[in-house]
Amino acid sequence: MARMTRTRRQMMHPYAQIILTGSHDAMSYCLDINSPLVPSESDCFRILDGLFYCFTRPTIFKWATTQDKSIEEQLSMGIRYFDLRVAHKLKDPSSDLYFTHIIYTHLTVLETLSSVALWLNSHPKEVVILACSHFEGISDELHQSFIFSLKKMFGSKLCPHKVSAPTLRSLWAAGQQVILSYDSQHPLRHPELWPDIPYWWANQCTAKEVISYLDSNKEQGRPEGFFVCGLNLTADRCFITENLRQSLRTITFSNWECLRGWVEKQTPGSGPQSLNIIAGDFVGPLPLCSLIIALNQKLLRKKSTR
């Protein structure tokens, strides 16, 4: 993990038992305010957007933007899990894919992931989890082309799914740096791809409601392997219309101290209530990475006292 001295004990732990810092909607820092709405948006909202474009677009932009640092900056800060929502633009004759969150990004998927591959080349001891999902407007042919490009881009860096509990030591020994989660049926045909990683999403707009949801999930025990606890707040359209001067950034910052207090109480490891990946919004200005590094020190202290 970045900015952290790894110990021998840490290298021997399964990667799913170390707490990793995640970026929710990691590519929303480069949303294109002039791009079309994604197809899954309702017809009613599409009509409203067409009639009141000058009002809806700034509103969409400030509520859909969840990050403000580039992918390279996020990597350098210590983010190791990336929530990547992939789509193909409706009626686009090209095969270019983009990231989405209500609207599309300026950057294409392949140019972004090429940057990740270059960063990994210069940081051979770092391991990332790329969680590709949603896939709006993507045909089976585009899926196959995209998967071929991913396999070509990352090559031997890809950790196959058959390695059920990789440790940092085993990943380093094999020269593997990428765990690629692909939320579709295609991982059944491609051993390099991992199935969808569970994401605990509260779908609530206050820290207290998010924490209540996460604690309820913890009581049911941790899933097998990798899973994500989402700290991200979600505002529905009623909340947005009643709080027009707010933005996702302002409500995230105003709820941060409550979320921070909850994070500081969590523990890594294999216990039934131990966590694995904690993902949030605005992971640049908010000190989530430093909190996660401190949490992993608990695992080392726990081992040293046995």
* Average pLDDT of the segment spanning 199-219: 98
pLDDT surpasses 80 at 1: no
Q: pLDDT class for 10, splitting at 50, 70, 90?
A: low
Domains of the chain by residue range: 15-302
DSSP per-residue string spanning 138-166: --HHHHHHHHHHHHHHHGGGBPPTT--S-
For residue 216, with 0-12 CB atoms within 10 Å meaning exposed, 13-18 middle and 19 or more buried, which class applies? Answer: exposed
228-247 tens-digit pLDDT: 999 999 999 999 999 999 99
Determine the pLDDT at residue 115: 98
User: What percentage of the chain reaches a pLDDT higher than 90?
Assistant: 89
pLDDT of 18 higher than 70: yes
Average pLDDT, stretch 279-293? Answer: 97
Span 21-46, pLDDT tens digits: 999 999 999 999 999 999 999 999 99
Architecture of domain 15-302: Alpha-Beta Barrel (3.20)
**Global pTM?**
0.95
Give me the pLDDT at residue 150, please: 98
Residue 164 confidence class, pLDDT cut points 50, 70, 90: confident
Q: What is the mean pLDDT of residues 248-261?
A: 98
Q: Cα–Cα distance between 246 and 244 in angstroms, integer?
A: 5
Spatial separation of the C-alpha atoms in residues 116 and 126, rounded to whole Å:
11
pLDDT, residue 128, reads: 98
pLDDT per residue as tens digits for the range 78-132: 999 999 999 999 999 999 999 999 999 999 999 999 999 999 999 999 999 999 9
Return the closest-CA partner of residue 251 out of 19, 3, 14, 66. Answer: 66
What span, in angstroms and rounded, lies between the C-alpha atoms of 90 and 93? 9
Residue 272: is its pLDDT beyond 90? yes
* Residue 188 banded pLDDT, cuts 50, 70, 90: confident
Q: What pLDDT is recorded for position 79?
A: 98
